[in-house]
Amino acid sequence: MNIAETSAFAVGSDGELGALYEGLEAAELQPLWTITEELLTPTPRPAAVPWLWTFSTMKPLAREAIRLVPVGRGGERRVLALRNPGLGGRPYAVGTLWGALQCLGPREVAPAHRHTPGAVRFVLEGEGVWTTVDGDACVMRPGDLILTPSMQWHDHTNSGDQEMFWFDGLDLPMVQAMDGVFFERWPGPGESQPRPAERNASAARRVEGPRYTDDAVTGPLSPQPSQLLIYRWPETAAELERRGRKSDDPLVTIEYTNPRTGSSVLPTMACALHRVRGHSQAVRRAGNAVYVVFSGQGASVIDGQRFSWRPGDMFVVPSWSAVEHIATQADLFVLSDEPVLRALGIARRQVLPEPQQVTGEFHRSPRSGEGEIR
Ligand code: GTQ
Ligand code: FE2
């Protein structure tokens, strides 16, 4: 930083100012007046960029990983993390959220462990897997949402002869930012929890209260995760149908809720489902989101770039980026960090009056695997 620039309003000679800045530098002190504009931005400036990972690129690589890299102690999980190119090599989908494709081959078991970051799974393809969460075997089928809240033991078992693929979302970057990561391996006996006595027990237990709400959860904030760990696709679809019939909005949104409190499913992360049936309004939201295409084909315009998508594709909308969706009929799973912004009293949304001008198209060349904006 040039002294004349930083000192436009300073009094004193260049020599005195030079000595001051040298003194500050040597003392590990940073004068705020030299960094105000990059620190206190009028609106969020996420390092993460809008990006899309196609299932057609990810799945063959995941299948090669199934063939070549066994799952087990050490690696723990066969997970391909979405690595946002704006984040300087950090393995995060956006600054606050981990997003990944996880897969298990026939008869594979991912060993039990637990950690402070909480996780959600949204199932894309295959049958035969269950995730055991603190002794409760949660059977996973396409379209189901399964929760593994913070510090609950979890392992994944594929008892069938199909490969299985699902999306993982974790609040790992947030927990990391709080320097709050703790991780433990199952102490045994064995690598995973004993063959569970219970199956889908959290769903069988009658937890009173609605499991879905419209877009904005306004219920009391709860540090407790949902005790209901499974949200089945047929129930989600029925709720979408019901709400879809009552409105002609091109976007029907439901948020999964903790039935006991009416708040988000996990303290840090909200899960929602968008049914797109037309051209939605452009909106901005404070906080980051990861989208997973469950069904249908369409496109989203993010900050003027058009991203076309198909089932299994995953894309990210960084904080305060404008986004609108276009499809005849498509279902998108959405993971966001909005509960944290709500808890801090800084959640905000803005609906834009006009659709965005499309200034570019996002393409992934299947050859290089590199994304490209044209
Ligand atoms: O399935 O337990 O994508 O611990 C990242 C960390 C999945 C898991 C991830 C994990 C898991
Ligand atoms: Fe885990």
200-210 b/e (C-beta count within 10 Å ≥ 16 → b): bbbbeeeeeee
Query: Could you give the C-alpha distances from 299 to 100, 119, 361, in angstroms and in order?
Result: 21, 27, 10
If you measure from the C-alpha of residue 91 to the centroid of ligand 1, how many angstroms do you get, rounded to a whole number?
A: 13
Ligand 1, atom 10, residue with closest C-alpha: 77
C-alpha 106: how far from its chain's center? 27
> Ligand 1: which of 140, 170, 314 to mutate, most ligand atoms within 8 Å of CB?
170
CA distance 181 to 12: 48
Q: What is the mean pLDDT of residues 30-51?
A: 96
The tokens for 112 are 């039990």
Question: Any idea which of 105-109, 229-233, 354-358, 362-366 has the lowest mean pLDDT?
Answer: 362-366
Q: Answer whether residue 373 shows pLDDT above 50.
A: no
Percentage of the chain lying above the pLDDT 70 cut = 93
If you measure from the C-alpha of residue 132 to the centroid of ligand 2, how many angstroms do you get, rounded to a whole number?
A: 11
The tokens for 210 are 């609605």
CA distance 345 to 287: 12
Burial class (CB in 10 A: 0-12, 13-18, 19+), 269: buried
Q: Answer whether residue 183 shows pLDDT above 50.
A: yes
If you measure from the C-alpha of residue 168 to the centroid of ligand 1, how many angstroms do you get, rounded to a whole number?
A: 7
Backbone Cα Rg of the chain: 23
> Ligand 1: which of 73, 78, 79 to mutate, most ligand atoms within 8 Å of CB?
79
Ligand 1, atom 8, residue with closest C-alpha: 77
Share in percent of the chain as helix, strand, coil (round to 5): 20, 35, 45
pLDDT, one tens digit per residue, over 304-322 is 999 999 999 999 999 999 9
If you measure from the C-alpha of residue 77 to the centroid of ligand 1, how many angstroms do you get, rounded to a whole number?
A: 6
If you measure from the C-alpha of residue 16 to the centroid of ligand 1, how many angstroms do you get, rounded to a whole number?
A: 55
> Ligand 1: which of 71, 76, 192 to mutate, most ligand atoms within 8 Å of CB?
76
If you measure from the C-alpha of residue 158 to the centroid of ligand 1, how many angstroms do you get, rounded to a whole number?
A: 15
> Ligand 1: which of 71, 102, 292 to mutate, most ligand atoms within 8 Å of CB?
102
Cis ω for the linkage preceding 106 (within 30 of 0): no
Question: Any idea which of 132-141, 240-249, 344-353, 360-369 has the lowest mean pLDDT?
Answer: 360-369
Q: Find residue 337's DSSP bridge partners.
A: none
CA distance 284 to 269: 18
52-73 b/e (C-beta count within 10 Å ≥ 16 → b): bbbbebbbeebeebbeeeebee
Ligand number nearest CA of 75 is 1
Q: Which among 152, 148, 93 has a CA at the least distance from the CA of 119?
A: 148
If you measure from the C-alpha of residue 208 to the centroid of ligand 1, how many angstroms do you get, rounded to a whole number?
A: 29
Atom of ligand 1 nearest to the CA of 156: 1
Ligand 1, atom 11, residue with closest C-alpha: 77
Q: Which long-range contacts (CB under 8 A, 24 or more apart) does 320-323 make?
A: 320/43, 320/44, 320/46, 320/284, 320/285, 320/286, 321/46, 321/50, 321/284, 322/282, 322/283, 322/284, 322/352, 322/356, 323/282, 323/283, 323/284
Q: Answer whether residue 369 shows pLDDT above 60.
A: no
Helix or strand holding residue 131 (H, E):
strand 129-133
If you measure from the C-alpha of residue 15 to the centroid of ligand 1, how many angstroms do you get, rounded to a whole number?
A: 56
Ligand 1, atom 7, residue with closest C-alpha: 168
Mean pLDDT of the chain: 92
If you measure from the C-alpha of residue 302 to the centroid of ligand 2, how many angstroms do you get, rounded to a whole number?
A: 31
Q: What is the mean pLDDT of residues 25-45?
A: 96
- Residue 131 or 195, more confident: 131
pLDDT of residue 219: 62
pLDDT, one tens digit per residue, over 295-308 is 999 999 999 999 99
The tokens for 172 are 């790992």
CA distance 151 to 172: 13
| 293 contacts 313 by C-beta, under 8 angstroms | yes
Q: Which residues lie with the beta carbon below 6 Å from any ligand 1 atom?
A: 77, 79, 100, 102, 119, 154, 168, 170
Q: Answer whether residue 148 shows pLDDT above 90.
A: yes
Atom of ligand 1 nearest to the CA of 168: 3
